[in-house]
Structure 1
């Protein structure tokens, strides 16, 4: 999942990075295929080159290794809303068939208080204004739901045309990378469709892990297995953040 997510950044120049799996993928891409990739974090760091995976957007490693640090208002008003960032890379707690994302609150069932999540952060603006958006998360019926309990970040709304009607300049989610495969929006309906499987995964496995009746592409392909170079780089990246015993 992490390696295929990193591969999605091939050819990108600038990436607005979310913490967690998106940060792992973006930093891995910069190490193995896109050394010139400019990593941008919500705290105002531009061109960060962390030697380890950052713990949060406020991790000092991001500022210490950045080409520049700007204010948060400048980051959003000038860089993001000005259309100067190619790719936004996000995670999610819930995602629906139109790639709408929930990171705010989940329904925990009768007689139980709602579950509070980290919240929106900059994700709504990232999804609205970046040239395209990538999403990475693990595949289960808990995460891939028929309808999100809350829409934190608009993907494709309820179908084609919704983003344009709301004045959103970015193209929206272009791919959702999971531990089972890759889903992409159908050009006609904007509904997520299974287009790629990871080696050893079946269509039925993906359907069982999805909370709606998942459609599949006419020609489903299989992702290439990780190379030795990719695995070595990923392991080194993760090991760099561990304290020596």
Structure 2
């Protein structure tokens, strides 16, 4: 088996969450690599939309930001950002959104606003950007983040982007579409049970239940069908290293 990095495993696993024909709102970094990997492998008809307003993008190289002109390459259309959000996202025309955050809690709520009290925070963060709209209006969201107790508290300090709030019924009562589908970290893949609480669905190779418990801020539960995460294939590793991110801008260039 070819050696791979934690980041490459996260990219590969996130790509597997995408289905052929999905419409996805793409961010830069790992989500962008995951979407482009899916499009080059099992989901050639994946429709990629970027916040800057490019619809049906098929970039010829790695975009460095959502405003990179390469995103217009082979795009079906380029629209104002307001139309991208209003006509596509808020109208419920996007299947999948990728998100990250400084904190993600047991209900999939995301904080990217403040650490500590809102009026007197220990750290002031960038805020939502389009994340709240993505979390509220896509059919499903995929969250990607490193796994640590600080990043995964039982309750976020501030709800920037809603998950299941305090349970699936609470989200439904707010009139929000969809909800978080999976959380992919460098230790495990988590999903959500019938109540909307995050549980561990699979462990990455050489990661134990204790490793995950020690890196999670609540008594996280494990699926009865707990499995081992599928590792990246040689073809996926080659695509990531040689095609998608040859300079290691987001992967760190720490592969073999």
Q: Same fold (TM over 0.5)?
A: yes
Using the TM superposition, give the Cα deviation of residue 74 of structure 1 relative to its aligned residue in structure 2, in angstroms.
Answer: 1.0
**1:142-166 CA deviation, whole Å, 9 max, x = no partner?**
2111211211100110112112111
Deviation of residue 63 (structure 1)? 2.5
Name the CA distance, whole Å, in 1 between partners of 2:179 and 2:186.
21
Q: Corresponding residue for 2:190? A: 183
Gaps of 5+ in 2: 1-9, 250-256
Work out the CA distance in 1 between the residues paired with 2:213 and 2:94.
34
| 1:90 aligned residue | 99
**Contact 1:12/1:86, CA 8 A, preserved across alignment:** no
Partner of 2:69: 60
Aligned to 2:238: 232
For 1:151-186, what per-residue CA distance to the aligned partner results, in whole angstroms no more than 9, with x for missing partners? 110011011211211111x21101001111110010
2:151 aligns with: 143
1:170-227 Cα offsets, whole Å, 9 max, x none, are: 211010011111100101x100000111111111111111111111111201112211
Secondary structure in 1 matching 2:245: helix
CA deviations on 1:103-153 (whole Å, 9 max, x unpaired) are: 122239xxx963222221111111111111111111111211121121110
Instruction: Choose the corresponding residue for 2:141, options 126, 130, 133.
Output: 133
- Give the aligned partner of residue 218 of structure 1: 224
After superposition, the CA RMSD in angstroms is 1.7
Equivalent residues in 2 for 1:91-106, closer than 5 Å = 91-106=100-115
* TM-score of the superposed pair, with normalisation by structure 2: 0.87
Instruction: For residue 161 of structure 1, give the secondary structure of its aligned residue in structure 2.
Output: helix
> In the alignment, which residue of structure 2 is the partner of 1:205?
211
Identify unmatched segments of 5+ residues in structure 1.
Answer: none
Query: Secondary structure of 1:98's match?
Result: coil
Tell me, in whole angstroms, the C-alpha distance in 2 between the residues paired with 1:9 and 1:50. Answer: 18
Aligned-partner Cα distance in 2 for 1:212–1:228: 36
**What CA distance in whole angstroms lies between the structure 2 residues aligned with 1:100 and 1:173?**
9
2:161 matches 1:153: yes
Task: State which drifts further: 91-100 or 27-36.
Answer: 27-36
